[in-house]
Structure 1
């Protein structure tokens, strides 16, 4: 499965529109985003330690909900996404939480745990890729993602690659022998901006009803969706069309496809006028699910 990403002149123009999201975050904001991200990673690591063969995607997502609730979270950018085996590929337009029990975990499966809690108003949107037992092919993919992650801050600051950073990442993924999984996401993104939410959307998991708005909006926070719509979406998503300013806070999530499985990382990247940096290196702690 190879997805081709087509650029739109209108979307490129809209992505350059002024947005309050491009304001550089304060030191206080950065620390608050870091706390939210750390909680999200703690959740994924704790969940991986508990998981065993026979768990379902639905059971795993419920466990993550419970952990985050016990740690003070009442709202999310999106509900936890748990994917086992073939669902980790992120087939076109199918990256979403499991419906019902979902798939059952088997020995050798690749697993992606993706959660986005809102803590004290700040979003921590992360993803971990791991496997049940040893998985040499996944190790190679994670080595590639580690190298990509190391280079991204410099590339996003370089005028030669900043405007077309999606194209650069796409070329790196394909050049390494993988396929780009961005086609699995709404707007075919490899990243999106994250926000500080007000009290209502911090304390209430308000999501649009599926029967009225469809499944995609139903697993996202109303606060996140309203922020996107209010800013006309294009400046807020990092896809093939984005040509605007990169300053602000982004959840970066390159997703690659291999043979029957996929892998990604997701974490927050802070882009200031003079530098870009990851909040920490927790995403690089490799863990496995015990078979």
Structure 2
């Protein structure tokens, strides 16, 4: 099958994806209990892997394209794909945790940017706007709209607040594979791109910078950071287009139960 072929899911498949995505939400909720000054992202990675395996699933990031860990942990100016390490998180840091699972053959994928202790108001505002932009994009994920409608909604909202949208990295289709067609950019024009149809499952994930949109790919082959080293935020939900509109399969409810994020 052509890698650009968009695979529509049945109701049964969407239900299986809901279970996998709910587990991602539970994992992020578990991690939120431990995110505080002094903890390392490698410790968080170990907690995540054990939690996912204890629930009968596989961490999809581990070994994906050679990635060495079960979560991506991106701190402050790191945009995405940060490799967990032994550096303790500090008061005032932010950390984006991106997590994926495979349960009963179907993938879940979600990300959330957490505050470590007390964070500057201007940084917290970046997080708030990025999270709000995610839902602005989801509102556009309706049958007979187009990918560009999602992208434009996210871009317009973030730029209206003075932030910039990363161009090099995008959301994606998801199903039996973590990355499927179509690509879902966070910038673009309304009315352009692939047509949205019932049964499409996509991961929408704004990656928004406080400063310039320009990014640098680090020498580790994974980590992407802002060129100006200003903070970046990242939030992601997996959604299914069902009965004409977006149904969110992942969840932040477990995070909200356990933290001040």
TM-score with structure 2 length normalisation? 0.73
- Alignment match of 1:192 (pick from 144, 157, 172): 172
Matched, 1:139 2:132: no
1:255 is aligned to 207
The equivalent of 1:86 in structure 2 is: 77
Partner of 1:3: none
Higher relative contact order (CA 8 A, sep 6+): 1
Partners of 1:37 and 1:162 in 2: CA distance: 21
Matched with 2:182 is: 236
SS at match of 2:77: helix
Instruction: Calculate the aligned-residue CA RMSD, in Å.
Output: 3.1
Which of 35, 39, 51 is equivalent to 1:67? 51
- Structure 2 Cα separation of the partners of residues 289 and 274 of structure 1: 34
List per-residue Cα deviations over 1:211-251 (Å, max 9, x = no partner): xxxxxxxxxxxx546xx5xxxxxx42113687123331011
From the superposition, tell whether residues 42 and 273 of structure 1 become closer, same or farther in structure 2 (CA, over 3 Å). Answer: closer
Larger Rg: 1
Residue 85 of structure 1 and its aligned partner are, at CA, apart by: 2.4
In structure 2, the residue matched to 1:178 is 163
Aligned-pair CA distance for 1:179: 1.4
User: Where do residues 5-44 of structure 1 align in structure 2 (5 Å cutoff)?
Assistant: 19-21=5-7, 23=8, 25-44=9-28
Contact 2:60–2:101, Cα closer than 8 Å, also in 1: yes
Q: Which runs of 4+ in 1 moved over 3 A?
A: 158-165, 283-290
**1:53/1:105 contact within 8 Å kept:** yes
Higher strand share: 2
Tell me by how many angstroms 1:115 deviates: 0.5
Provide the aligned length of Structure 1 versus Structure 2. Answer: 227
Task: Give the drift of 1:108.
Answer: 0.9
Structure 2 runs not aligned, ≥5 long? 65-69, 212-229
Distance 1:280 1:70, change over 3 A: closer
* Cα distance in structure 1, aligned partners of 2:43 and 2:209: 25
Structure 1: where are the runs of 5+ without partners? 1-13, 197-222, 229-234
SS at match of 1:125: strand
Q: Structure 1 length as normaliser, TM-score? A: 0.66
Is the CA contact 1:130–1:288 (under 8 Å) kept in the aligned structure 2? no
CA contact (8 A) 2:73 2:82 kept: yes
- 3-state DSSP class of the match of 2:96? strand
> Which segment is superposed worse, 274-283 or 124-133?
274-283
CA distance in 2, matches of 1:145, 1:86: 15
**Contact 1:161–1:168 under 8 Å retained in 2:** no
Contact 1:114 1:125 in 2 (8 A): yes
Preserved CA contact (<8 Å) 2:134 2:204: no
